Amino acid sequence: DTEVTQTPKHLVMGMTNKKSLKCEQHMGHRAMYWYKQKAKKPPELMFVYSYEKLSINESVPSRFSPECPNSSLLNLHLHALQPEDSALYLCASSQGLQTYEQYFGPGTRLTVT
């Protein structure tokens, strides 16, 4: 199974809402990533978890809160978002930070109204 799954596929939320994005992989990978991608732009790295510990935070605003409950799951908690946060949020995983291949999920299309 070489699949990274993400739920939901689409999410519309108001600026006062709290929601969560979920990412799951069952490849035994120990590194997981959150990216934000605007239309026709490259993905921008947000967070990296390695062995369930936050390894990289790319100075992301605190309204985005990542969580890695176990080695297969990665969540992104959203609170008080702004319209400019509307984007495609991609999750990825790799065997480890030292491993070159990242496997990407299909993404969650987020719209903030």
Partner 1 sequence: AQTVTQSQPEMSVQEAETVTLSCTYDTSESNYYLFWYKQPPSRQMILVIRQEAYKQQNATENRFSVNFQKAAKSFSLKISDSQLGDTAMYFCAFMTRNAGGTSYGKLTFGQGTILTVHP
- Cα–Cα dist 107/9, whole Å: 7
100 binds partner 1 (CB under 8 A): yes
Segment interacting with partner 1 (CB under 8 A) among 12-20, 22-30, 71-79, 97-105: 97-105
Residues 70-89: x/- map of binding to partner 1 (CB under 8 A)? ------------------x-
90 binds partner 1 (CB under 8 A): yes
43 binds partner 1 (CB under 8 A): yes
50 binds partner 1 (CB under 8 A): yes
- Cα–Cα dist 54/70, whole Å: 12
What b/e readout covers 9-36, taking b as 16+ CB neighbours within 10 angstroms?
A: eebebeeeeebebbbbbeeebbbbbbbb
φ/ψ of residue 55, rounded to 5: -105, -40
For binding to partner 1 (CB under 8 A), which residues are involved? Answer: 31, 40-43, 45, 48, 50, 55-56, 88, 90, 92, 97-98, 100-107
